[in-house]
Amino acid sequence: MGKFPGKFPTYWSEDVHVGPHVLLLDLDSTSDPKSGDVHVGPQVLLLDLDSTSDPRSEDVHVGPQVLLLDLDSTSDPRSEDVHVGPQVLLLDMDSTWDPKSEDVHVGPQVLLLDLDSTSDPRSEDVHVGPQVLLLDLDCTSDPKSEDVHVGPQVLLLDMDSTSDPKSKDVHVGPQVLLLDLDSTSDPRTPMTTWDPRSTSKSWIPRRTSVPCYYLVA
């Protein structure tokens, strides 16, 4: 880790860096936002990828619009737009502030997220089963797309829109995380050209005009 060039109060990493909403991920499982291991600002994101494949782990926290994935079944809801119970998770992704909204619903085996803005809970753009997670980051609405695939130990994100699951731009295993957001396919290359004054929210490559937003509200 190191200070990012300039006065912007954040950090940079050679293998992980995201635009004005800065993302730093490290697989040391400290869950400490002050350590710089995992941090997204100004909307904070903590991901504890401790490689334990333990569904009881509290490995997700987002603020100030809070996202809690209560995988240890503590039933501790802490936000109007988030309700967590042993079997149910509701997230207000369509900004309706309605906990009854079907844009996000989690049961014992199913997760649906309305990333394609269809407000259709049957949409397959996001589906979670006991071992599989699919996110439609390329806006294809194709659940078979390999741009995002999570198994017990592997996460693949097609951030460069190549639809190539072997691409090194994003890979999470027990000990490895790579995000090639500068399109160099080189995990050693820091994003030294990023302008911290930029307010762009279009840093995720898209192949269609579908209004998809991830990590930003």
Residue range 154-164: average pLDDT? 41
159 token code pair:
């951030």
90: left (phi over 0), alpha (psi -120 to 50) or beta: beta
Name which of 86, 76, 124 is nearest 106 in CA terms.
86
Give the model confidence (pLDDT) of 187-200 as tens digits: 333 333 323 233 33
Give the model confidence (pLDDT) of 181-190 as tens digits: 334 444 333 3
Question: What pLDDT shows up at residue 180?
Answer: 37
Of 106-120, 181-195, 197-211, which gets the smallest average pLDDT? 197-211
E strand spans, 74-200: 82-84, 89-91, 104-106, 111-113, 126-128, 133-135, 148-150, 155-157, 170-172, 177-179
Neighbour count for residue 56 (Cβ, 10 Å): 11
Question: What pLDDT shows up at residue 122?
Answer: 42
Indicate the pLDDT class of residue 174, thresholds 50, 70 and 90: very low
Give the model confidence (pLDDT) of 22-78 as tens digits: 233 333 334 343 343 333 333 223 333 333 333 333 334 333 322 333 333 333 333
Strand order across the 67-68 sheet: 44-47, 60-63, 67-68
Name which of 175, 138, 130 is nearest 157 in CA terms.
138
Question: What pLDDT shows up at residue 181?
Answer: 35
- Per-residue CA distances from 173 to 72, 141, 198 (Å): 22, 25, 31
